[in-house]
Structure 1
Amino acid sequence: MSISPLKEALRRLNSEKSRLATMRQRTPKRVNRWFKWLSPGLFIKRWLLISLGGVFLTILGIAIWVKLTPINRFIELVSQLVTTLANIIPNSVSGPLAVGIGLFLLLWGQSRTVGSITEVLQPEGDQELVDVLLAHRRLNRGPKIVAIGGGTGLSTLLRGIKHYSSNITAIVTVADDGGSSGRLRREMGILPPGDIRNCIAALADEEKLLTELFQYRFQAGDGLSGHSFGNLFLTAMGEITGDLERAITASSKVLAIRGKVLPATLADVSLWARLSDGRLIEGESHITEAGGKIEEIGCTPSKPAALPAAIKAIEEADYIIIGPGSLYTSVIPNLLVPEITKALAKSKAPRIYVCNIMTQPGETQGYTVADHIRAIDQVSHQRIFDVVLAQKIAPSPESLKRYAQENCHPVFLDREDVSDLGCRVILANVMDEDEKTGYVRHDPYRLARVLMRWYSRKENRKIS
């Protein structure tokens, strides 16, 4: 006797079991999705009830208008039909049956409606529309966060913090004069778009794709070689809209970013630094290359006017984060704008400084955490933050050896000196270490989690 029919029967049985298991998994998920539409904060239930109320009042108004004649006849017809059905089928059966069919039609109609809306709004989306709406509402209710800095440090922070709030304002330095930004600045007479480009990409929903596009550098072509697409995009938008501020606003709308990116000033700022050996170095890109110890830093013009929108964002902020980033060429240039420093000092919002993990040759060689704070205080002439976040765990020995070859070391936490300066210290592991290259950076998601946890605790204490 052949055993093939038995194998076929077993295969079909297993297939049927798998199908039933899949149905059991899908049903709760689908029911759960329906119930999500009743979640608070979506503003769905109130509008649904208002719509039903409108339908009821419309029908009632029409009935009153035509003196109830069609309504009376319709009611009589329904009454006769119900009486006939009750005589044929007991009400204990027909009642629940009618309710069940009604609910089925209602849920079926609603699910098809939601499906049609989802196809239009998210033709290729993996998330359910209700999950997108819930996330959108949650992010819109997030705190008003102002992040100040520049370079890769600020974009790293934004990449993590955007998952906690859409009310983010990034205030970015415009002192860069190297690379593609420097060339555009000299040739086109525009403000350097490089750091702004990085922040826009970091705040975008399609972050990975947009970052790759904005960071793409042309390898050939007269005049194009070395330029990044993002810099050229912002330059073109600036030409179309009239200035960099409008260009950033227009680009943010086109790219649907979470939050806003603002330049600290629209003035053509150029950095200068006086080194301990007496040299005066001009230009942001030349300061680090000079390789000396910075004694004093300033800018030309000496008192650039702040962008009004940046001052307004600081005044309305619930939470202010300064750094991370190169101390003298990314963080401090924002504080050389007097109105920004004054607004930060006056703000009642929690203010925290994220200290760098490693020292930087030509800028912070041999610096401790307290040295970073002193440098900021020296420029601002007043205390603008009361808490500093420092890395808790040292990098691996392999990374330390690699950095030692470049004369870089972990920023030492001199806790007593920091305390004497009037600052609290938060220690946390916010480091991301690349095992292949040995490079150490802030992990955007760990950093954001620590910063938002501290903010939540502070707000809870304020409420209690």
Structure 2
Amino acid sequence: MKTYRIRRPKIVVIGGGTGLPVILNGLRYQSADITAVVTVADDGGSSGKLRESINMSPPGDLRNVLVALSDMPQMYEKIFQYRFKKEDDFLADHTIGNLIIAALSEMKESTYDAIQLLTKFMHVDGHIYPASEKSLTLHAKFLDGSEVEGESKIADDRKKIDYVYVTNTHDDEKPKAARKVVTAIKEADMIVLGPGSLYTSILPNLMIEDLGQAIVESEAEVVYICNIMTQKGETEHFSDAEHVKVLHKHLNAKFVDTVLVNTEPIPDDYMDFEVYDEYLVQVKHDFQSLRDEECRVISADFLELRDGGVFHDGNKVVEELFRLVFGTKY
């Protein structure tokens, strides 16, 4: 059951991957005015194949966000999320939802317009915008001076990343935010980053210059939901403070106001590392360095254990976000 308030706080959530839908689903039941800004730099799996085939934005993260904010019956959701088997030749690994987004992107000649149509079709409570209306290519420059192109390749060599940046995949124009994204950020009461892969889910959005600048200039509370686990080839040996330092370095500003940090330990031998092979160890805490970055730190048990994996408990995180948004703006 939704919780209704006289004033629905405007909350913009930015990111991608599997963590974003967890937070969005929780927010939907708190009657927030939600805007999801979703990365378009994914070049792996079904999304990668489709963006190469028909020159569209990668649909996978957008698909998962649509489902998270939709009130369609569970059976419809299962159909939309169905993934074809590996032995199905041409359709192998594609989801029905990805194919629907691809068809509408071709029909409307725009993934952005396709998503706006689907938000109505799927009774989405909120706004969903791709970060850019053109697919982006993520580049990583490593500390040894080498560079790699493509989100799916960044973690392969497990080198230490110096910085990342994005380019338009199919032209030489400067990447820019999609319609209404900058306005949503400017009008927000709260901006939430993550949870999600630091370099491949969060920063690809912030590296769109006008989008990143809008966050820096925003008067909204900017909240970073720190990852629970370090990630192979991205944040190996990182503390929570090092995650924030990377964000601040990329935008050349100390723009994160509050960091949500999980302090509940993961039971020994719990993680199924064969399934979740990108995760390494639990993120260590460095609260003093977080304060040196001018961040308020909220540390609590945000942990959910299921299916041999480690996740944020969406309800606990959203409860904290609402305490923050009403405490800072109302």
- TM-score, scaled to structure 2: 0.92
| 1:144 counterpart residue number | 10
| 2:220 counterpart residue number | 349
Q: Is the 8 A contact 2:54 2:106 kept in 1?
A: no
- Determine if the alignment matches structure 1 residue 329 to structure 2 residue 200: yes
The unaligned stretches of length 5 or more in structure 1 are 1-131
Measure the CA separation in 1 of the matches of 2:39 and 2:66: 14
> 1:413-456, CA deviations, whole angstroms, 9 ceiling, x for partnerless residues?
1011111111110012111012x52x101111111112112222
| 2:178 counterpart residue number | 307
5 Å-filtered alignment, 1:301-450, equals 301=168, 303-399=174-270, 408-434=280-306, 436-437=307-308, 439-450=309-320
5 Å-filtered alignment, 1:147-296, equals 147-206=13-72, 208-219=74-85, 220-296=87-163
| AA in 2 matched with 1:283 | G
> 1:280-314, CA deviations, whole angstroms, 9 ceiling, x for partnerless residues?
11100011223222122112248411113101111
Q: Over the residues paired in the alignment, what is the CA RMSD in angstroms?
A: 2.2
| AA in 2 matched with 1:154 | L
Secondary structure (helix, strand or coil) at the match of 1:454 reads helix
| AA in 1 matched with 2:268 | P
Q: Is the 8 A contact 1:298 1:336 kept in 2?
A: yes
Query: More relative contact order in 1 or in 2 (CA 8 Å, sep 6+)?
Result: 2
Q: Is the 8 A contact 2:231 2:278 kept in 1?
A: no
Measure the CA separation in 2 of the matches of 1:401 and 1:256: 36
Q: Offset of 1:334 from its aligned partner?
A: 0.4
Gap change, CA 1:258 and 1:385, over 3 Å in 2? same
Gap change, CA 1:433 and 1:266, over 3 Å in 2? same
Give me the identity figure in percent.
38
5 Å-filtered alignment, 1:28-107, equals none
- TM-score, scaled to structure 1: 0.66
Q: Name the structure where helix makes up a greater proportion of residues.
A: 1
Measure the CA separation in 2 of the matches of 1:214 and 1:407: 28
Secondary structure (helix, strand or coil) at the match of 1:250 reads helix
Measure the CA separation in 1 of the matches of 2:228 and 2:71: 28
The unaligned stretches of length 5 or more in structure 2 are none
Gap change, CA 1:401 and 1:209, over 3 Å in 2? closer
Q: Offset of 1:212 from its aligned partner?
A: 2.4
Measure the CA separation in 2 of the matches of 1:444 and 1:326: 17
Measure the CA separation in 1 of the matches of 2:18 and 2:163: 24
Q: Offset of 1:206 from its aligned partner?
A: 3.3
Measure the CA separation in 1 of the matches of 2:184 and 2:279: 39
| AA in 1 matched with 2:248 | D
Q: Name the structure where strand makes up a greater proportion of residues.
A: 2
Secondary structure (helix, strand or coil) at the match of 1:290 reads coil
- Greater Cα radius of gyration, structure 1 or 2: 1
Q: Is the 8 A contact 1:204 1:210 kept in 2?
A: no
State the number of aligned residues: 324
Measure the CA separation in 1 of the matches of 2:45 and 2:127: 25
Measure the CA separation in 1 of the matches of 2:81 and 2:194: 22
Measure the CA separation in 2 of the matches of 1:273 and 1:308: 26
Secondary structure (helix, strand or coil) at the match of 2:280 reads coil
> 1:104-126, CA deviations, whole angstroms, 9 ceiling, x for partnerless residues?
xxxxxxxxxxxxxxxxxxxxxxx
